[in-house]
Amino acid sequence: MVLTMGAGASLWLARANAAPHLSEADPAAVAVGYKEDAAKVDKAKYPNFAADQTCANCSLFQGKSTDAWGGCTLFSGKDVAAKGWCASWTNM
């Protein structure tokens, strides 16, 4: 007998296996100026920020470019927003 999962069960499993999202208030996030939305980066505080820099195109991002959230080598066990940014952004 073969059991199949419905779409709802598959989605639930995917969410259950996902890492928690990194909070902007997390001390590690604060230390590098992490923002879930790069458009909200304080450009005066981070003059090296460029509008085309996001977590999704950072070499530290461990998700796919199409993922909304993905791992980051800086924040073990927590996912960052693909459209986010931090001062550790590095070119791919």
In whole numbers, what is the pLDDT of the chain averaged over residues?
Answer: 87
pLDDT (tens digit per residue) in 38-69: 999 999 999 999 999 999 999 999 999 899 99
Query: Distance from CA of residue 51 to its chain's centroid?
Result: 17
Non-local (6+) Cβ contacts of 84 within 8 A are 34, 35, 36, 37, 38, 54, 55
88 has pLDDT over 50: yes
Structural domains in the chain, CATH included, are: 20-81 (4.10.490.10)
pLDDT (tens digit per residue) in 15-24: 456 799 999 9
pTM to 2 decimal places: 0.80
